[in-house]
């Protein structure tokens, strides 16, 4: 089964259930398809510790593979307070509350004005 056999809604349900099963909190789904071509949705979830971040990412990877949704990549393992799991149409960020507050991905990806300002600064 390829990544395209599951609908986007089914993929979101798979991710959120996997995260919820291991007690992730504050799971947020953000629509980003109008802001980037990299993904359609971004899912951000809190973990209680660095070990919990890793456990959640491991569980998500295993659950996705069981359903034929092959992760394209994973960044931030090994004692990290933030791990990214790239599932193609969905990018999942699993973070400690401190990392989530510091990086404020919701604020960044929810505001086209912020993204535009950053793009202009890089030119």
Domains held by the chain: number: 1
Query: Residue 78 maps to which CATH number?
Result: 3.30.460.10
* 106: confidence class by pLDDT, cuts 50, 70, 90: confident
Residue 82's domain comprises 3-122
Query: What is the rounded CA–CA span in Å between residue 48 and residue 57?
Result: 13
For the stretch 95-119, what's the b/e string if a residue is b when 16 or more beta carbons lie within 10 angstroms of its beta carbon?
bbeebbeeeebeeebbeeeeeeeee
What mean pLDDT is reported for the chain? 88
Taking only the tens place, the pLDDT of each residue in 71-104 is: 999 999 778 999 999 999 999 999 999 999 999 8
């Amino acid at each position: 089964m390829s990544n395209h056999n599951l609908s986007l809604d089914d993929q979101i349900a798979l991710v959120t259930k996997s995260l919820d099963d291991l007690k992730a909190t504050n799971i947020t789904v953000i629509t980003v398809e109008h802001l980037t071509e990299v993904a359609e949705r971004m899912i951000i979830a809190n973990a209680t510790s660095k070990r919990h971040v890793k456990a959640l990412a491991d569980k998500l990877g295993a659950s996705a593979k069981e359903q034929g949704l092959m992760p394209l990549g994973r960044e931030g393992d090994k004692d990290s307070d933030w791990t990214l799991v790239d599932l193609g149409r969905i990018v999942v960020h699993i973070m400690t509350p401190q990392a989530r507050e510091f990086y404020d991905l919701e604020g960044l990806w929810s505001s086209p004005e912020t993204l535009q300002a950053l793009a202009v600064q890089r030119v």
